[in-house]
Amino acid sequence: METGHISVLACEVLTFLAPKLGGVYVDATFGAGGHSRAILDAVGKNGKLLALDRDPDAIIRGEKLVKLYPGQLTIKHASFQNLGDTLIEWGEKRIDGILFDLGISSFQIDQPERGFSFRFDGPLDMRMDHSLNSKSKTAADLVNTMSDRELSDIFFKYGEESQARKIARAIVFDRDEKPFRTTGQLAQLAQRVIPNHKRGIHPATKIFQALRIAVNGELDQLQNGIDAAINALSQEGRLVVISFHSLEDRIVKQTFKKVTSHPQVTGPAALLPQTKLPPLPYSLITKKPVIPSIEEMQQNPRSRSAKLRVLARVTI
């Protein structure tokens, strides 16, 4: 069941990335290619874009776009956590703008067989890279083998689920009788264990988010990816990141803060007169995150939790 994907904060991405004619850009999360297409149109025939996605299905879907932008667009099946190596292979060291639009696309959520959604029954998979050589374990592997302590930690840390222990204990109890194979089984367990959940939000929401993050190692990948992106920016280059939950946004916010502030001087050195501080190589373009307009949230409810932050390179 494919319903297509609407690119989030599309105008804002273009405004902040400010693609220039003939520039060199990276879309670290190609997805359905909406943002990539907008960047390609803005950079013109002499510009180029490298687009990455961890999901092999996104790469196959993107082949049509490669034909529409011959010589301009390269699409690669790779995780953005290896961005440094990927750029060496591509032959470009300095990049004028890099975009990360995190999370999963509507194509992924709306396909029951990918196992990302509690709204449809499908195999409990959740791997973004489900290719044959993928080394990731599935969500079912985690749910059926981890101890209740490990599961509870995942639900609490990655889902901020207050009933983490109760859910983990119920999983371990139930799986003896019947291992978890489907999203439906897990969604039903959440409904049973936390029946008085907040109205309007499915009780499985947080544990599905937590398992997805654990299966795909999303937070470590994000940290490695944005560190590599920050290094690769050209002078005046821009890094734009759209996150969809507080754990992602915290990593982006703290990493941007770290590279745009002078390290604090502590101990006896703090008592000495401060010499003039050297200029910082990066500057923060968005002091506060940019969020979608009410109209965008109404038209595309999946944009509701989006937060966009931007960093620029000042000197190399």
Ligand X SMILES: C[S@@+](CC[C@H](N)C(=O)[O-])C[C@H]1O[C@@H](n2cnc3c(N)ncnc32)[C@H](O)[C@@H]1O
Tell the smallest beta-carbon distance from residue 103 to ligand X (Å): 5
Length of the chain, please?
316
Residue 48 to residue 212: CA distance in whole angstroms = 32
111 vs 152, beta carbon nearer ligand X: 111
29 vs 111, beta carbon nearer ligand X: 29
Q: Considering only residues 42, 51, 55, 209, which one is a binding residue for ligand X as defined by CB under 6 A?
A: 55
Tell the smallest beta-carbon distance from residue 37 to ligand X (Å): 8
241 - beta bridge partners? 100, 309
Q: Is 243 in the site for ligand X (CB under 6 A)?
A: no
29 vs 255, beta carbon nearer ligand X: 29
**Of 21, 120, 25, 133, the residue nearest 77 (C-alpha):** 133
Pairing verdict, β 73-77 and 282-284: unpaired
Residue with tokens 């003896």: 176
Tell the smallest beta-carbon distance from residue 287 to ligand X (Å): 24
Q: Is 183 in the site for ligand X (CB under 6 A)?
A: no
Tell the smallest beta-carbon distance from residue 275 to ligand X (Å): 41
The distance of Cα 153 from the centroid of its chain, to the nearest Å, equals 21
Q: Is 5 in the site for ligand X (CB under 6 A)?
A: yes
39 vs 189, beta carbon nearer ligand X: 39
- DSSP label of 105: -
Tell the smallest beta-carbon distance from residue 260 to ligand X (Å): 24
Residue 61 to residue 261: CA distance in whole angstroms = 41
Residues 57-116 that bind ligand X (CB under 6 A): 58, 79-81, 101, 103-105
Tell the smallest beta-carbon distance from residue 102 to ligand X (Å): 6
58 vs 239, beta carbon nearer ligand X: 58
Residues 6-45 that bind ligand X (CB under 6 A): 7, 28-29, 31-35
Question: 44, 21 in Cβ contact below 8 A?
Answer: yes
Break the chain down into helix, strand, coil percent, rounded to 5.
45, 15, 40
Residues 217-236 that bind ligand X (CB under 6 A): 221
Phi, psi angles (nearest 5°) of residue 182: -125, 155
Q: How far is CA 312 from CA 8, 40, 189, 207, in A?
A: 21, 20, 46, 35
Using CB under 6 A as the criterion, which residues of the chain lie in contact with ligand X when the complex forms? 5, 7, 28-29, 31-35, 52-55, 58, 79-81, 101, 103-105, 128, 221
